[in-house]
């Protein structure tokens, strides 16, 4: 059975441009770029992660299947403390993943910024964020998904409010275990 033909890069870029206006770059990595984007129909702000599959596979030895697994994992995660995938526009050489936009910074930058401004981080505040992070991880683990990249950069505040919830991001190396008793090597 033949594999379905994927749209060309120009068709994918045209579809993306039809629905989203790409704005400034939020983050640039070796294989992907994250832009702030505005949905043309609703005016809502999103984050669009674009993975260049040619660079991804040539430089890292990763395959289209690796990106498809990331999309599958992200699409299955719907939790208030996990950054949510909202849309995917995929083609032969590029995959655009549209995530909810998180306007806050990662937790380390936020702590430094707020303490510099005179905010005192108490044990109660730290435990509040830890509880949110752990509830997100419990949700993932109950679904057989292991994040594998927990670090301060992956814990981002949803917005700039002092009471903003924390959201876990960076699911590119997350995996779904084949069965509930499976384990993952630490190395």
Structure tokens at 50: 């674009």
Beta pairing, strands 32-39 & 45-52: antiparallel
Catalytic annotation present for 66 = no
**Choice among 68, 149, 179, 185 that is catalytic:** 149
Degrees, nearest 5: CA angle 80-82-84: 90
Specify whether the CB–CB gap between 50 and 35 falls below 8 A. Answer: yes
Residues assigned a catalytic role = 149
């Amino acid at each position: 059975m033949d594999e379905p033909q994927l749209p060309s890069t120009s068709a994918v870029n045209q579809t993306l441009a039809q629905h989203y206006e790409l704005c400034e770059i939020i983050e640039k990595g070796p294989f992907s770029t994250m832009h702030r984007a505005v949905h043309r129909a609703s005016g809502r702000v999103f984050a669009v992660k674009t993975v260049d599959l040619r660079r991804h596979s040539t430089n890292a030895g990763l395959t289209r299947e690796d990106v498809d697994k990331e999309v599958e994992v992200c699409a299955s995660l719907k939790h208030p403390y996990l950054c949510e995938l909202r849309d995917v526009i995929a083609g032969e050489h590029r995959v655009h993943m549209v995530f909810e936009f998180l306007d806050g910074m990662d937790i380390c930058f936020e702590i430094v910024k707020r303490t510099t401004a005179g905010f005192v981080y108490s044990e109660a505040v730290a435990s509040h964020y830890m509880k949110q992070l752990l509830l997100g991880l419990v949700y993932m683990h109950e679904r057989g998904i292991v994040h594998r990249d927990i670090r301060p950069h992956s814990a981002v505040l949803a917005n700039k409010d002092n009471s903003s919830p924390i959201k876990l991001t960076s699911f590119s190396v997350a995996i779904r275990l084949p069965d509930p008793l499976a384990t993952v090597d630490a190395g």
